[in-house]
């Protein structure tokens, strides 16, 4: 469970810091955590140069936050590779490409546009482990500015790594653009006014897509709709796909590590299925395990059973999935929020490689997404959240009351039933308790969720 401390609108946790810029997330906080992360990177026992990669999404506060972070790191003697506006997975790729000691992504992911965050990557381009995160948190409370008299400022290089990222995807052995180009696809891309608008269209062009229509493509950080790629936020995008007679709609979040799909009829394809489609594609080529988190759909288990492949579940959080992938030598992993993790590139969610895999799969099957979607396992999920005074006490009580059920407690409390499940956990990014449930019907999923909410509220 993540250790969090909320100050004003700042959330400090082992996964980094996030908050509302100017109301908790301010210059002093950015300097303190940049110094702490620099100290962490400095203390790593390796031969890599003192180099850190910094990138950001298009939030209005991103430029000034990035300047503060870069200046702080340079004052500490670090060379900084500033890749500017870039998807989070591109920053991760740049850490590997530049042989840096770490990376900092300025992005609050799906949070509203007034939020921002420091997302921290280690030298392997992975988000910090719980142990590494705790080290940085401790350093942030202790670190003092270096004596600038004895430290020459580090160099600054500004580079664009999006093309490098696309080149790496095009170089994958299962990326066959001839198959994609033969379909003469017409695709709508919703760039949510952020870095996806800079990365997805050129990727589609390299893949041979016939026509790309970019909407919400002005990269100004003023999100045209709520940032999380959920159906309630994408009604306008779905209508645009229908009116355009497009073959597919591609939607990403502000830092382009999550991928949601809209089919050729303008219907939202659950982001829970993005990793399922990628796994179906990969298992046709390779045998191997898959890893995902406890809150992801059972659809992945159903598809895995068709190939007789194992699925391993971890606590929620990208780094937890990554550790499970590494432990079980998984060929692919992901999360039900639209995240696809391909270790051939890097251990992180990547909407760009997810896009390639989806298009490659559909082109080889020679079917529209609407038809392929009907062949996948059908589940319905309900996602709710409630505010409680003491999340830990709530979870403990819920666990005790239902200890005779088929329960998993590695991350909150998950109870599996024959035809569904419910998962109650403390959020890693917000001061709330999340309640996810899944069933064979929408009503069943909602009933499970409401049962859980009623149980918690009646016992507070």
So which residues are the catalytic ones?
109
Nearest to 423 by CA among 458, 392, 399: 399
Distance CA 191, CA 274 (A): 17
Nearest to 143 by CA among 8, 65, 42, 66: 42
């Amino acid at each position: 469970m993540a250790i969090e401390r909320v100050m004003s609108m700042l959330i400090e946790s082992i996964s980094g810091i996030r908050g509302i810029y100017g109301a908790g997330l301010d210059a002093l906080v950015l300097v303190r955590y940049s110094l702490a992360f620099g100290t962490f990177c400095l203390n790593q026992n390796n031969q890599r140069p003192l180099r850190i990669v910094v990138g950001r999404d298009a939030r209005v506060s991103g430029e000034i936050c990035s300047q503060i972070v870069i200046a702080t790191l340079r004052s500490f003697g670090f060379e900084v590779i500033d890749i500017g506006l870039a998807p989070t997975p591109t920053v991760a790729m740049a850490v590997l490409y530049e042989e840096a000691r770490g990376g900092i992504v300025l992005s609050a992911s799906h949070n509203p546009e007034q939020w921002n965050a420091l997302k921290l990557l280690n030298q392997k381009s992975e988000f910090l482990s719980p142990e590494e995160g705790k080290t940085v948190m401790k350093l942030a409370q202790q670190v003092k500015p270096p004596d600038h008299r004895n430290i020459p400022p580090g160099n600054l290089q500004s580079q664009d790594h999006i093309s490098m990222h696309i080149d790496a995807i095009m170089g994958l052995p299962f990326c066959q653009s001839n198959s994609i180009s033969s379909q003469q696809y017409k695709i709508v891309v919703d760039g949510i006014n952020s870095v996806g608008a800079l990365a997805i269209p050129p990727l589609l062009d390299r893949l041979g897509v016939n026509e790309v229509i970019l909407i919400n493509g002005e990269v100004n950080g003023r999100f045209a709709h709520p940032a999380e790629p959920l159906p309630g936020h994408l009604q306008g995008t779905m209508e645009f796909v229908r009116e355009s007679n497009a073959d597919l709609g591609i939607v990403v979040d502000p830092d382009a590590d999550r991928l949601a799909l809209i089919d050729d009829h303008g219907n939202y394809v659950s982001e829970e299925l993005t990793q399922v489609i990628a796994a179906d594609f990969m298992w046709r080529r390779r045998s191997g395990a898959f890893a995902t988190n406890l809150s992801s759909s059972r659809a992945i288990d159903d598809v895995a059973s068709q190939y007789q492949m194992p699925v391993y579940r971890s606590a929620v959080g990208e780094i937890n999935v990554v550790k499970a992938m590494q432990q079980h030598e998984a060929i692919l992993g992901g999360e039900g929020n639209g995240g696809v993790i391909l270790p051939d590139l890097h251990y992180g969610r990547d909407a760009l490689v997810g896009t390639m895999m989806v298009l490659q799969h559909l082109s080889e099957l020679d079917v529209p997404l609407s038809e392929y979607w009907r062949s996948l396992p059908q589940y319905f999920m309900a996602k709710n959240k409630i505010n409680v005074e003491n999340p830990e006490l709530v979870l403990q009580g819920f666990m005790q009351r239902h200890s005779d059920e088929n329960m998993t407690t590695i991350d909150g409390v998950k109870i599996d039933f024959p035809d569904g499940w419910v998962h109650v956990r403390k959020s890693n990014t917000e001061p709330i308790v999340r309640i996810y449930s899944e069933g064979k019907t929408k009503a069943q999923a909602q009933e499970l969720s409401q049962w859980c909410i009623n149980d918690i509220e009646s016992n507070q």
